[in-house]
Amino acid sequence: MTEMKPRLGHVEVQLDTGLKKHVSKLSLLFTGVGAIIGSGWLFGALYASQIAGPAAIFSWILGGIMVMMIGFVYAELATMFPVSGGIVRFPHYAFGSFASYGSGWISWLAAAAVTPVEVLATVQYANPYIPWLMYQSEEGPFLLTAPGGAVAVGLMFLYSLINIMGVRLFTKFNNVLVWWKLAVIALLIAMLFFLEFNPGNLSAHGFAPEGWGAVLVAIPAAGIGFSYLGFRNAVEYAGESDNPKKNIPFALIGSIVITMAVYVLLQIAFITALPSELLSEGWSALTFDEAAGPLAGLALVLGAVWLAWLLRLDAIISPADTGLIYAGVTSRLSYANARNENFPQWLTILNSRGIPWPSVVLTFVVGCIFFLPFPSWQLFIGFITSAFALSFGSGPVAVGALRRQLPDQERPFKLPGGDILPIIAFISSSLLVYWAGWAINEKMLIALLLGYVVYVIYHFTAKIKLPPLDIKSGLWFPIWTAGLMVISYFGDINGDGQAEQGIFLNGDAGPLTLSTGALACAIFSIAVYYLGVHWRLPAQRAADYIRRTPVDETNIPE
């Protein structure tokens, strides 16, 4: 007779001592909304229209639904374990160091890129009035000049300084800015409908002039996926929330619902407000004289000079707020990786305000480096979307594993339907990676491989005893990544977001079309999901990782 192993029952997670519980329900919601409404809305409506035409409306809806599925998964995890930097720590609980490092590294790197991308958005909108900040390259994107680079670094420093001053000041400042951003967007939508309404634009050149595949490609290429990814901040600040069990689901789901409604209405207003002469050469040729700021450019075309000036002002405030948020988020990810003992322990040192200040400094340095290989907004967003999607993929698999490891754990927010919703969320993550295209994924793969090199160096030079690697339990993550890279390589999406049906990047006929590539992603993801769940850590080891406190308590101020 087989001996039954005892069930572990409820396992108490070791919370983050020293972090201040100053993030309220509204503040947590606004941290998500403020991060989502950053630079994406300033450029996304134009870029999505150029790629997909009026069908871009469905790009925003589909993108929001996909991110919502991922958000549901993290709502279950974060209410169960309300810790700071949870997106990095949940895979550590379920699979150990090897899996958590891969997803943690790429998540941290992607988050570190967000603040510089928001800085670039601010500089790009200011460029028509301060022309020495940027120049337009022959390929089209706006690139930083040397003086513009100095200004960008200065803004990075300012956001880092504000974050070091404490989370209470940050949340109060952010709440005011989010109310401002919502008011400006609501006013813009209303004025676009009032100033010009041409419903014929929805069909003049065909509702989907580039085909329905372009609707999918626009999600990463136009910044749609990027725009929604700020929902994660409710998870990253969970350890600093005053009532995480109630606040986290409210903030996660609420931020996506609010912003999806805003983005869909804005896309419809933008499309129907365009004078027909601007579409004489089709949607792909749509542009404005003020190319650096398309919404302000449209306001000028419609004769609303005051609205254009308001948008120029908001183009500084909206990205600045999101950049400010991500400067803090990235430092929490550094802190969380160090709590997993995958990053150096000095990144867990807190100042008297409960802020991991060395992590903020590291975020500043790495963010400035990002200006070198990705000096334009459009070149940034594909990399960030792909990298974030890859890091989010560990959450759905962790849900499946932890349900089997800790079936009796209290789950204040539990998804119904067994593995169905986590699998849908996992497939959504895979598709967001695939749709970014090989030209983007190639850079993301290089960044991930570089991270593993750093990990090997750290593992052999660390002066503390590190936890076991748990390679077998975490092997599903590099298998999943490698498979997605193969599918992406043989797919038909190029680096500038265009779907070239059946055309391989080297010019030969590609074996995967947009639809067969998506089907391959789905089938492969389901197989990897169950492989990861099967390779999960033993229940007792998972419980030990949840309970343990690797941080030196001397790092925590009185």
Map out the domains of the chain as residue ranges: 25-555
What is the model's pLDDT at position 497?
A: 38
Single-letter amino acid code for the residue at 79? T
Beta-ladder partners of 135: 143
- Mean per-residue pLDDT for 104-123? 82
Distances (CA, A) of 222 to 141, 210, 284, 454: 13, 14, 12, 32
Phi, psi of 142 (to 5 degrees): -85, 130
Contact 243, 170 (CB under 8 A): no
Tens digits of residue pLDDT in 150-189:
888 888 888 888 777 766 666 777 788 888 888 999 999 9
Q: Which class for 375: exposed (0-12), middle (13-18), buried (19 or more C-beta within 10 A)?
A: buried
Q: Is the pLDDT of residue 17 over 80?
A: no
> Residue 556 and residue 14: Cα distance in Å, rounded?
15
What is this structure's pTM? 0.82
Which range has the worst mean pLDDT, 10-19, 31-40, 310-319, 325-334?
Answer: 10-19
Both tokens assigned to 33 = 């909304």
Amino acid sitting at position 269: A
Model pLDDT, residue 91: 92
Which of 1.10.150.120, 3.40.50.720, 3.30.420.110, 1.20.1740.10 is the CATH number of 25-555? Answer: 1.20.1740.10
Chain length of the chain: 558
Determine the pLDDT at residue 277. 85
Pairing status of strand 142-144 against strand 134-136? antiparallel
pLDDT of residue 542: 87
Looking up tokens 């595949």 gives 213
pLDDT, tens digit, for every residue of 52-73? Answer: 889 999 999 999 999 999 999 9
On the question of pLDDT at 550 being above 60, the answer is no
Q: How far is CA 27 from CA 82, 514, 534, in A?
A: 16, 40, 38
Mean pLDDT of the region 189-210: 88
Instruction: Measure the CA–CA gap between 167 and 415, rounded to whole angstroms.
Output: 31
Q: With pLDDT > 90 as the criterion, what percentage of the chain qualifies?
A: 22
Q: How far apart, in whole angstroms, are the C-alpha atoms of residue 288 and residue 311?
A: 15
Mean pLDDT score of the chain, rounded to an integer? 80
